[in-house]
Structure 1
Amino acid sequence: MIEVVSVINAAAATVFDLELDIDVHAESLAKSRETATTTTGRRQLGLGDEVTFGARHFGRRWNMTSRITAYNRPYHFVDEQTRGPFRALRHEHYFEDLGDIRTRMIDRMTIRAPLGPLGAVATRMLLAPHLRRLLVERAAHIKRLAETADHGR
């Protein structure tokens, strides 16, 4: 499991909404030329919505589709891969109100790679560190947007 914890000087609802905004998601990972397309055409994801991400990692273009499988605004949501490169991927997002308009954002990602023992080694040595870096970059972007008066938009 990968876990990234951030403290953000903004209300939980603000941080929650930014995390579910596909344009913000694409902006946060611009280095990998991230794209995001929803099944609904809406920018903001909700329960049951699917989004397909495309990005360049390890010199190759990857696509992954995830569905929002749990949604309790502004405290928690979960997205899970329905199609993509992993045997399984579950990403849990938690938002804890710390008072004084501060939020603790917790990202927990569990992945299982294909290819049995070889996939497990690749996950530990290559995929998990890479995904952790992406989550840290994304959290820093969310923090910057949430802490500005106009949310950077």
Structure 2
Amino acid sequence: MAEEEYEKILFQFHSDVLDEETIETMWAVVIDKEKGLYKLDSIPFYAPDVAADDIIYAEFDEDQERLTYRNTVEASGNSTVQVVILDSGTDTNEIREMFDSLGCTSEKYNEGYFVIDVPSSLDYSAVQNRLTELQNAGIIGYAESCLSKKHGLE
């Protein structure tokens, strides 16, 4: 079986937090290089409206001198949640493990900030309940940067 080929894809977007144009790069598996199709293999730290396993279209951008995201061809149904640790006495990895035990995966940006990938097959209500509990306790703040249609209905 052939090894999967990966490409780094540039995402350009307006950050409401920073109130400026910003960029993020993510790894994606090559599906069809000629057609510009890739499967996102990263959990977005900041880029809105995309989630892990989405099929995306990217093309080479002369100005950026690299492959650049243009649009989502097929949403995976996964959701992305951004989490900020507000309580300095709380270990980021302990909070991540709570969500791992619910069936999610996560990527840590630094101590105090991580993102959660909620698979499309998972019932989001259990994840959302835990997020809300932790937020109400003043331990975290969170934002649903990409909430799939399925998870939005739960």
Structure 1 length-normalised TM: 0.26
Higher relative contact order (CA 8 A, sep 6+): 1
| Structure 1 or 2: more helix by fraction | 1
TM-score by length of 2: 0.26
Max Rg structure: 2
